[in-house]
Amino acid sequence: MPANGNSLDIRDEVAQGFEDIFGSPPAGIWSAPGRVNLIGEHTDYNQGFVLPFAINRRTVVALGPRDDGILRVASAFADEVAEISLADLTPDRLQDWSAYPLGVAWALGQFGADLAAVPGVDLYIESTVPVGAGLSSSAAIESAVAVALNDVWRLGLDRPTLARVGQLAENKAVGAPTGIMDQSASLLGTPDHAVFLDCRSLQSELVELGFTRAGLELLVIDTDVSHDHATGGYAERRASCEMGAMLMGVPALRDLGIVDLPRAREVLDHETYRRVRHVITENQRVLDTVRLLRSEGPLAIGELLDTSHVSLRDDFEISVPELDLAVETAQANGAIGARMTGGGFGGAAIALVPTDGISRLQVALDGAFAEHGFSQPTTFTVVASGGAGRN
Ligand code: GLA
Protein backbone atom coordinates (compact mmCIF):
# COMPACT_ATOMS: atom_id res chain seq x y z
CA MET A 1 0.00 0.00 0.00
CA PRO A 2 1.45 3.43 -0.93
CA ALA A 3 2.60 5.81 1.78
CA ASN A 4 -0.58 7.87 1.87
CA GLY A 5 -2.74 4.79 2.37
CA ASN A 6 -4.47 5.34 -0.93
CA SER A 7 -5.00 2.30 -3.11
CA LEU A 8 -5.98 4.67 -5.93
CA ASP A 9 -2.56 6.26 -5.96
CA ILE A 10 -1.99 8.43 -9.02
CA ARG A 11 1.08 10.39 -7.93
CA ASP A 12 3.42 8.82 -10.52
CA GLU A 13 0.87 9.40 -13.23
CA VAL A 14 0.54 13.06 -12.25
CA ALA A 15 4.32 13.60 -12.23
CA GLN A 16 4.47 12.06 -15.72
CA GLY A 17 1.51 14.16 -16.90
CA PHE A 18 3.29 17.30 -15.69
CA GLU A 19 6.47 16.39 -17.51
CA ASP A 20 4.63 15.51 -20.74
CA ILE A 21 2.99 18.93 -20.84
CA PHE A 22 5.56 21.26 -19.31
CA GLY A 23 8.74 19.50 -20.47
CA SER A 24 10.54 18.94 -17.15
CA PRO A 25 9.78 17.10 -13.91
CA PRO A 26 7.75 18.91 -11.22
CA ALA A 27 9.42 20.37 -8.13
CA GLY A 28 6.97 18.57 -5.89
CA ILE A 29 3.66 16.75 -5.52
CA TRP A 30 0.87 17.76 -3.15
CA SER A 31 -2.53 16.16 -2.63
CA ALA A 32 -5.82 16.69 -0.83
CA PRO A 33 -8.77 14.38 -0.19
CA GLY A 34 -12.47 14.62 -0.96
CA ARG A 35 -14.80 14.25 1.98
CA VAL A 36 -17.90 12.48 3.18
CA ASN A 37 -20.09 14.42 5.54
CA LEU A 38 -21.18 11.99 8.25
CA ILE A 39 -23.78 14.42 9.57
CA GLY A 40 -24.47 18.18 9.75
CA GLU A 41 -25.90 19.18 6.38
CA HIS A 42 -26.54 22.81 5.42
CA THR A 43 -25.48 23.84 8.89
CA ASP A 44 -22.07 25.30 7.97
CA TYR A 45 -23.26 28.58 6.42
CA ASN A 46 -25.65 28.91 9.36
CA GLN A 47 -22.58 29.03 11.60
CA GLY A 48 -23.50 25.67 13.13
CA PHE A 49 -21.82 22.28 13.55
CA VAL A 50 -20.61 19.70 11.02
CA LEU A 51 -18.96 16.28 11.26
CA PRO A 52 -17.28 15.39 7.95
CA PHE A 53 -14.27 13.19 7.35
CA ALA A 54 -11.57 13.15 4.66
CA ILE A 55 -11.74 10.09 2.40
CA ASN A 56 -9.20 7.94 0.56
CA ARG A 57 -9.94 9.59 -2.78
CA ARG A 58 -7.56 12.42 -3.55
CA THR A 59 -6.75 15.21 -5.93
CA VAL A 60 -3.05 15.31 -6.74
CA VAL A 61 -1.20 18.43 -7.89
CA ALA A 62 2.27 18.51 -9.44
CA LEU A 63 3.90 21.92 -9.32
CA GLY A 64 6.92 23.56 -10.86
CA PRO A 65 7.90 27.17 -10.16
CA ARG A 66 8.59 29.54 -13.07
CA ASP A 67 10.88 32.54 -13.28
CA ASP A 68 8.16 34.86 -14.51
CA GLY A 69 4.76 35.90 -13.17
CA ILE A 70 2.69 33.44 -15.24
CA LEU A 71 0.37 30.75 -13.90
CA ARG A 72 -0.37 27.76 -16.15
CA VAL A 73 -2.76 24.96 -15.24
CA ALA A 74 -3.22 21.68 -17.04
CA SER A 75 -5.12 18.54 -16.18
CA ALA A 76 -5.92 15.07 -17.36
CA PHE A 77 -9.60 16.10 -17.43
CA ALA A 78 -9.21 19.23 -19.62
CA ASP A 79 -8.00 19.60 -23.19
CA GLU A 80 -6.50 23.03 -22.84
CA VAL A 81 -3.79 24.56 -20.69
CA ALA A 82 -5.20 27.63 -18.92
CA GLU A 83 -2.79 30.53 -18.59
CA ILE A 84 -2.96 33.89 -16.84
CA SER A 85 -0.43 36.31 -15.43
CA LEU A 86 -0.45 36.95 -11.67
CA ALA A 87 -0.92 40.65 -12.41
CA ASP A 88 -4.20 39.93 -14.23
CA LEU A 89 -5.62 37.56 -11.64
CA THR A 90 -9.18 38.62 -10.78
CA PRO A 91 -12.22 36.35 -10.23
CA ASP A 92 -14.11 37.70 -13.24
CA ARG A 93 -11.32 36.62 -15.61
CA LEU A 94 -11.47 33.00 -14.49
CA GLN A 95 -13.69 30.46 -16.13
CA ASP A 96 -14.40 26.76 -16.41
CA TRP A 97 -12.62 24.26 -14.18
CA SER A 98 -9.42 26.34 -13.99
CA ALA A 99 -11.37 28.85 -11.86
CA TYR A 100 -10.82 26.43 -8.93
CA PRO A 101 -6.99 26.35 -8.92
CA LEU A 102 -6.50 29.88 -10.23
CA GLY A 103 -9.20 31.19 -7.86
CA VAL A 104 -7.11 29.81 -5.00
CA ALA A 105 -4.05 31.74 -6.20
CA TRP A 106 -6.18 34.91 -6.30
CA ALA A 107 -7.72 34.17 -2.87
CA LEU A 108 -4.25 33.72 -1.32
CA GLY A 109 -3.64 37.32 -2.41
CA GLN A 110 -6.73 38.33 -0.41
CA PHE A 111 -5.21 36.61 2.64
CA GLY A 112 -1.89 38.41 2.49
CA ALA A 113 0.20 36.83 -0.30
CA ASP A 114 1.98 39.51 -2.30
CA LEU A 115 1.08 38.39 -5.81
CA ALA A 116 3.45 40.97 -7.29
CA ALA A 117 6.40 39.33 -5.54
CA VAL A 118 5.76 35.56 -5.77
CA PRO A 119 6.95 33.51 -8.77
CA GLY A 120 4.57 32.05 -11.33
CA VAL A 121 3.97 28.29 -11.33
CA ASP A 122 2.97 25.47 -13.64
CA LEU A 123 0.37 23.11 -12.19
CA TYR A 124 -0.85 19.72 -13.35
CA ILE A 125 -3.90 18.25 -11.63
CA GLU A 126 -5.56 14.87 -11.57
CA SER A 127 -8.09 13.33 -9.20
CA THR A 128 -9.70 10.13 -7.99
CA VAL A 129 -12.53 12.06 -6.30
CA PRO A 130 -15.62 11.53 -8.47
CA VAL A 131 -16.98 14.82 -9.82
CA GLY A 132 -20.60 15.73 -9.07
CA ALA A 133 -21.03 12.99 -6.47
CA GLY A 134 -21.27 15.30 -3.47
CA LEU A 135 -17.81 14.22 -2.25
CA SER A 136 -16.24 17.67 -2.66
CA SER A 137 -14.07 17.18 -5.69
CA SER A 138 -13.92 20.98 -5.84
CA ALA A 139 -12.66 21.39 -2.26
CA ALA A 140 -10.06 18.70 -2.97
CA ILE A 141 -8.67 20.76 -5.87
CA GLU A 142 -8.77 23.96 -3.83
CA SER A 143 -7.08 22.42 -0.80
CA ALA A 144 -4.37 20.67 -2.81
CA VAL A 145 -3.51 23.89 -4.65
CA ALA A 146 -3.73 25.93 -1.44
CA VAL A 147 -1.20 23.76 0.43
CA ALA A 148 1.08 23.61 -2.61
CA LEU A 149 1.17 27.39 -3.13
CA ASN A 150 1.37 28.01 0.62
CA ASP A 151 4.56 25.91 0.63
CA VAL A 152 6.29 27.18 -2.52
CA TRP A 153 5.33 30.80 -1.92
CA ARG A 154 6.40 30.39 1.75
CA LEU A 155 3.24 32.03 3.05
CA GLY A 156 3.05 30.23 6.39
CA LEU A 157 -0.77 30.29 6.50
CA ASP A 158 -2.35 27.81 8.93
CA ARG A 159 -4.93 25.23 7.87
CA PRO A 160 -8.08 27.01 9.11
CA THR A 161 -6.94 30.03 7.06
CA LEU A 162 -6.26 27.85 3.99
CA ALA A 163 -9.81 26.52 4.36
CA ARG A 164 -11.09 30.10 4.19
CA VAL A 165 -8.90 30.69 1.13
CA GLY A 166 -10.52 27.71 -0.63
CA GLN A 167 -13.99 28.85 0.38
CA LEU A 168 -13.31 32.37 -0.94
CA ALA A 169 -12.13 30.92 -4.27
CA GLU A 170 -15.28 28.83 -4.50
CA ASN A 171 -17.57 31.73 -3.56
CA LYS A 172 -15.99 34.43 -5.75
CA ALA A 173 -14.13 32.70 -8.59
CA VAL A 174 -16.48 29.75 -9.12
CA GLY A 175 -19.60 31.57 -7.93
CA ALA A 176 -20.98 28.90 -5.58
CA PRO A 177 -22.19 30.37 -2.25
CA THR A 178 -20.95 27.40 -0.23
CA GLY A 179 -19.80 27.20 3.40
CA ILE A 180 -16.51 26.23 5.05
CA MET A 181 -17.13 22.53 5.71
CA ASP A 182 -15.61 20.86 2.66
CA GLN A 183 -12.27 22.66 2.66
CA SER A 184 -11.99 22.17 6.44
CA ALA A 185 -12.50 18.42 6.12
CA SER A 186 -9.99 18.21 3.27
CA LEU A 187 -7.35 20.16 5.20
CA LEU A 188 -7.91 18.88 8.75
CA GLY A 189 -8.76 15.20 8.21
CA THR A 190 -6.89 12.44 10.04
CA PRO A 191 -7.13 8.65 9.54
CA ASP A 192 -10.07 7.03 11.37
CA HIS A 193 -11.36 10.39 12.67
CA ALA A 194 -14.08 12.84 11.73
CA VAL A 195 -13.59 16.59 12.01
CA PHE A 196 -16.09 18.10 14.44
CA LEU A 197 -16.11 21.72 13.37
CA ASP A 198 -17.81 24.72 14.92
CA CYS A 199 -18.41 26.80 11.81
CA ARG A 200 -18.69 30.02 13.83
CA SER A 201 -15.45 29.91 15.81
CA LEU A 202 -13.73 27.58 13.29
CA GLN A 203 -12.49 25.57 16.27
CA SER A 204 -12.31 21.87 15.51
CA GLU A 205 -11.87 18.61 17.38
CA LEU A 206 -11.10 15.17 16.00
CA VAL A 207 -13.63 12.48 16.87
CA GLU A 208 -12.68 8.84 16.52
CA LEU A 209 -15.00 6.93 14.18
CA GLY A 210 -14.00 3.36 15.10
CA PHE A 211 -15.91 1.82 12.17
CA THR A 212 -13.45 -1.04 11.64
CA ARG A 213 -13.38 -2.02 15.29
CA ALA A 214 -17.18 -2.11 15.29
CA GLY A 215 -17.21 -4.31 12.15
CA LEU A 216 -18.69 -1.53 10.03
CA GLU A 217 -17.91 0.07 6.69
CA LEU A 218 -19.10 3.26 5.12
CA LEU A 219 -20.58 2.65 1.69
CA VAL A 220 -20.92 5.57 -0.72
CA ILE A 221 -23.81 5.20 -3.15
CA ASP A 222 -23.28 7.66 -5.98
CA THR A 223 -26.59 8.07 -7.78
CA ASP A 224 -24.90 9.65 -10.82
CA VAL A 225 -27.51 12.42 -10.65
CA SER A 226 -25.23 15.42 -10.95
CA HIS A 227 -25.71 18.66 -9.04
CA ASP A 228 -24.28 22.17 -9.30
CA HIS A 229 -24.18 24.48 -6.32
CA ALA A 230 -23.42 27.54 -8.43
CA THR A 231 -27.00 27.52 -9.66
CA GLY A 232 -30.46 27.37 -8.17
CA GLY A 233 -31.45 25.35 -5.18
CA TYR A 234 -28.42 25.64 -2.93
CA ALA A 235 -28.48 29.45 -3.00
CA GLU A 236 -32.25 29.48 -2.46
CA ARG A 237 -31.93 27.33 0.66
CA ARG A 238 -29.19 29.55 1.96
CA ALA A 239 -31.35 32.64 1.37
CA SER A 240 -34.31 31.03 3.22
CA CYS A 241 -32.06 30.31 6.20
CA GLU A 242 -30.78 33.88 6.27
CA MET A 243 -34.33 35.19 6.04
CA GLY A 244 -35.39 32.86 8.86
CA ALA A 245 -32.58 34.09 11.11
CA MET A 246 -33.44 37.72 10.37
CA LEU A 247 -37.13 37.24 11.13
CA MET A 248 -36.24 35.43 14.35
CA GLY A 249 -33.95 38.30 15.34
CA VAL A 250 -30.68 36.32 15.55
CA PRO A 251 -27.37 36.72 13.66
CA ALA A 252 -27.50 33.12 12.39
CA LEU A 253 -29.66 30.01 12.83
CA ARG A 254 -26.86 28.64 15.01
CA ASP A 255 -28.25 30.91 17.72
CA LEU A 256 -31.56 29.00 17.87
CA GLY A 257 -32.23 25.69 19.61
CA ILE A 258 -35.03 23.16 19.86
CA VAL A 259 -36.73 25.35 22.50
CA ASP A 260 -37.16 28.10 19.89
CA LEU A 261 -39.20 25.93 17.52
CA PRO A 262 -42.65 26.92 18.85
CA ARG A 263 -41.85 30.63 18.40
CA ALA A 264 -40.39 29.96 14.94
CA ARG A 265 -43.63 28.25 13.96
CA GLU A 266 -45.57 31.38 14.94
CA VAL A 267 -43.21 33.91 13.34
CA LEU A 268 -42.28 32.22 10.05
CA ASP A 269 -44.26 31.11 7.01
CA HIS A 270 -44.57 27.34 6.81
CA GLU A 271 -41.83 26.81 4.22
CA THR A 272 -39.26 28.97 6.00
CA TYR A 273 -40.23 27.29 9.27
CA ARG A 274 -39.42 23.88 7.84
CA ARG A 275 -36.07 25.08 6.49
CA VAL A 276 -35.24 26.51 9.92
CA ARG A 277 -36.45 23.38 11.72
CA HIS A 278 -34.07 21.31 9.62
CA VAL A 279 -31.08 23.43 10.58
CA ILE A 280 -31.97 23.57 14.28
CA THR A 281 -32.58 19.82 14.56
CA GLU A 282 -29.54 18.98 12.39
CA ASN A 283 -27.23 20.98 14.65
CA GLN A 284 -28.59 19.00 17.59
CA ARG A 285 -28.05 15.74 15.70
CA VAL A 286 -24.39 16.63 15.13
CA LEU A 287 -23.90 17.22 18.85
CA ASP A 288 -25.74 13.96 19.65
CA THR A 289 -23.64 12.02 17.11
CA VAL A 290 -20.39 13.31 18.61
CA ARG A 291 -21.58 12.40 22.10
CA LEU A 292 -22.66 8.89 21.04
CA LEU A 293 -19.50 8.20 19.04
CA ARG A 294 -17.47 9.07 22.11
CA SER A 295 -19.59 7.20 24.65
CA GLU A 296 -20.91 4.18 22.75
CA GLY A 297 -19.21 4.01 19.36
CA PRO A 298 -20.57 4.03 15.81
CA LEU A 299 -23.18 1.28 16.26
CA ALA A 300 -25.21 3.83 18.22
CA ILE A 301 -25.50 6.54 15.55
CA GLY A 302 -27.68 4.82 12.94
CA GLU A 303 -30.95 6.44 13.95
CA LEU A 304 -29.43 9.93 13.83
CA LEU A 305 -28.29 9.30 10.24
CA ASP A 306 -31.77 8.10 9.30
CA THR A 307 -33.46 11.10 10.93
CA SER A 308 -31.09 13.49 9.21
CA HIS A 309 -32.16 12.10 5.85
CA VAL A 310 -35.86 12.49 6.68
CA SER A 311 -35.25 16.10 7.70
CA LEU A 312 -33.31 16.86 4.48
CA ARG A 313 -36.01 15.17 2.40
CA ASP A 314 -39.13 16.59 4.05
CA ASP A 315 -38.12 19.85 5.75
CA PHE A 316 -35.21 21.07 3.63
CA GLU A 317 -36.49 19.40 0.43
CA ILE A 318 -33.13 18.78 -1.22
CA SER A 319 -33.29 15.04 -1.80
CA VAL A 320 -34.17 13.39 -5.12
CA PRO A 321 -35.96 10.05 -5.74
CA GLU A 322 -32.65 8.28 -6.48
CA LEU A 323 -31.20 9.36 -3.11
CA ASP A 324 -34.37 8.32 -1.27
CA LEU A 325 -34.29 4.94 -2.97
CA ALA A 326 -30.61 4.47 -2.08
CA VAL A 327 -31.32 5.28 1.57
CA GLU A 328 -34.45 3.12 1.81
CA THR A 329 -32.76 0.17 0.10
CA ALA A 330 -29.79 0.45 2.44
CA GLN A 331 -32.03 0.58 5.49
CA ALA A 332 -34.01 -2.45 4.30
CA ASN A 333 -30.83 -4.43 3.61
CA GLY A 334 -28.83 -4.36 6.79
CA ALA A 335 -27.48 -0.79 7.04
CA ILE A 336 -27.53 0.50 10.60
CA GLY A 337 -28.16 4.01 9.23
CA ALA A 338 -28.18 5.86 5.92
CA ARG A 339 -28.61 9.38 4.58
CA MET A 340 -27.87 11.60 1.62
CA THR A 341 -24.58 13.45 2.01
CA GLY A 342 -23.41 16.83 0.72
CA GLY A 343 -25.36 19.70 -0.75
CA GLY A 344 -28.19 17.63 -2.25
CA PHE A 345 -30.20 17.77 -5.50
CA GLY A 346 -28.27 14.69 -6.62
CA GLY A 347 -24.90 13.28 -5.67
CA ALA A 348 -24.38 10.48 -3.18
CA ALA A 349 -25.92 8.77 -0.19
CA ILE A 350 -23.91 7.08 2.54
CA ALA A 351 -24.77 3.92 4.44
CA LEU A 352 -23.12 2.54 7.55
CA VAL A 353 -23.12 -1.20 6.97
CA PRO A 354 -21.74 -4.31 8.71
CA THR A 355 -18.73 -5.41 6.65
CA ASP A 356 -20.22 -8.81 5.83
CA GLY A 357 -23.37 -7.16 4.46
CA ILE A 358 -21.73 -4.90 1.86
CA SER A 359 -22.04 -7.17 -1.17
CA ARG A 360 -25.62 -8.11 -0.37
CA LEU A 361 -26.49 -4.42 -0.19
CA GLN A 362 -24.72 -3.69 -3.48
CA VAL A 363 -26.77 -6.37 -5.21
CA ALA A 364 -29.97 -5.03 -3.64
CA LEU A 365 -29.16 -1.48 -4.79
CA ASP A 366 -28.54 -2.59 -8.37
CA GLY A 367 -31.86 -4.46 -8.34
CA ALA A 368 -33.84 -1.60 -6.80
CA PHE A 369 -32.41 1.01 -9.20
CA ALA A 370 -33.13 -1.22 -12.21
CA GLU A 371 -36.67 -1.82 -11.01
CA HIS A 372 -37.30 1.94 -10.79
CA GLY A 373 -35.78 2.58 -14.22
CA PHE A 374 -32.89 4.59 -12.70
CA SER A 375 -29.37 4.23 -14.07
CA GLN A 376 -27.13 1.99 -11.97
CA PRO A 377 -25.53 3.67 -8.97
CA THR A 378 -21.78 3.53 -8.45
CA THR A 379 -20.98 2.11 -5.02
CA PHE A 380 -17.68 1.99 -3.14
CA THR A 381 -16.50 1.97 0.45
CA VAL A 382 -14.39 4.80 1.86
CA VAL A 383 -12.17 5.10 4.91
CA ALA A 384 -11.38 8.19 6.93
CA SER A 385 -7.98 9.39 5.74
CA GLY A 386 -5.34 12.07 6.20
CA GLY A 387 -5.81 15.67 5.08
CA ALA A 388 -4.01 17.73 2.48
CA GLY A 389 -0.23 17.78 2.36
CA ARG A 390 2.95 17.32 0.38
CA ASN A 391 3.02 13.90 -1.36
C1 GLA B 1 -21.90 21.66 -0.07
C2 GLA B 1 -21.18 22.92 0.39
C3 GLA B 1 -20.90 22.89 1.88
C4 GLA B 1 -22.16 22.56 2.67
C5 GLA B 1 -22.87 21.34 2.08
C6 GLA B 1 -24.20 21.06 2.74
O7 GLA B 1 -21.06 20.56 0.07
O8 GLA B 1 -19.96 23.06 -0.31
O9 GLA B 1 -20.37 24.12 2.29
O10 GLA B 1 -23.02 23.66 2.75
O11 GLA B 1 -23.08 21.48 0.69
O12 GLA B 1 -24.02 20.66 4.04
What distance in angstroms lies between residue 138's CA and the mean position of ligand 1's atoms? 11
Sign of CA dihedral 206, 194, 97, 200: negative
DSSP three-state, residue 112:
coil
State the distance from the centre of ligand 1 to the C-alpha of 85, rounded, in angstroms: 31
Nearest Cα residue to atom 9 of ligand 1: 179
Q: How much is the pLDDT for 51? A: 98
pLDDT in tens, the chain (391 residues): 333 444 468 999 999 999 999 999 999 999 999 999 999 999 999 999 999 999 999 999 999 999 999 999 999 888 899 999 999 999 999 989 999 999 999 999 999 999 999 999 999 999 999 988 889 999 999 999 999 999 999 999 999 999 999 999 999 999 999 999 999 999 999 999 999 999 999 999 999 999 999 999 999 999 989 876 656 899 999 999 999 999 999 999 999 999 999 999 999 999 999 999 999 999 999 999 999 999 999 999 999 999 999 999 999 999 999 999 999 999 999 999 999 999 999 999 999 999 999 999 999 999 999 999 999 999 999 999 999 999 8
Contact 69, 85 (CB under 8 A): yes
**Domain final position from 173, 207, 241:** 207
179 CB less than 6 Å from ligand 1? yes
Residues 149, 34 share a domain: yes
- Same domain membership, residue 199 and residue 144: yes
Q: Is residue 56 part of a domain?
A: yes
Residue 281 makes CB contacts below 8 A (sequence gap 6+) with: 258, 307, 311, 315
Query: CA torsion 293→298→302→306, rounded to 10°?
Result: 60
Asked whether 181 lines ligand 1 (CB < 6 A), one says: yes
- At 149 the pLDDT is 98
Q: Which of 44, 122, 182, 222 is catalytic?
A: 182
Measure Cα distances from 288 to 51, 307, 327 in Å.
11, 12, 21
Residue 40 sits in a domain of what CATH number? Answer: 3.30.230.10
Looking at the domain assignment, is residue 305 inside a domain? Answer: yes
389 lies in some domain: no
- Evaluate whether residue 368 is within a structural domain: yes
**Atom of ligand 1 minimally distant from the CA of 37:** 12
CB-CB contact of 140 with 34 (8 Å): yes
Position in ligand 1 atom list of the atom nearest CA 234: 11
> Is this prediction's pTM over 0.85?
yes
Is 280 found in the same domain as 192?
no
In a domain, 222, yes or no: yes
Of 62, 58, 71, which Cα lies nearest the Cα of 14?
A: 62
Q: Could you report how far apart the first and last alpha carbons of the chain are, in Å?
A: 14
Q: Please indicate, yes or no, whether residues 191 and 223 belong to a single structural domain of this protein.
A: no
Ligand 1 in reach of 182 Cβ (< 6 A): yes
Domain match, 140 and 16 both = yes
Q: Clarify whether residues 75 and 58 are in a common domain.
A: yes
Cross-strand pairs, 339: 350
How many domains is the chain built from? Answer: 2
User: What angle in degrees, to the nearest 10, is found between the helix axes of 137-152 and 181-188?
Assistant: 60
Rounded to 5°, the CA angle 43-48-54 comes to 70
CA of 298 to the centre of ligand 1 (A): 23
Q: How far apart are the CA of 316 and the centre of ligand 1, in A?
A: 13
Determine contact, residues 301/293, Cβ cutoff 8 Å: yes
Query: Which atom in ligand 1 lies closest to the alpha carbon of residue 179?
Result: 9
182 tagged catalytic: yes
Ligand 1 centroid–CA 369 distance in Å is 26
pLDDT, position 1: 31
Pairing of strands 337-340, 348-354: antiparallel
Ligand 1: residue whose CA is nearest its atom 11:
343
Q: What is the pLDDT of residue 268?
A: 98
Contact 338, 38 (CB under 8 A): no
Q: Where are the alpha helices (DSSP H) in the chain?
A: 11-22, 99-110, 137-152, 159-168, 181-188, 233-248, 261-267, 270-295, 302-310, 321-332, 358-371
| Domain carrying residue 321 | 209-382
Same domain? 21 vs 109:
yes
Q: Which burial class, exposed, middle or buried, applies to 349 when counting CB atoms under 10 A from its CB (0-12, 13-18, 19+)?
A: buried
Q: What was the pLDDT predicted at 133?
A: 85
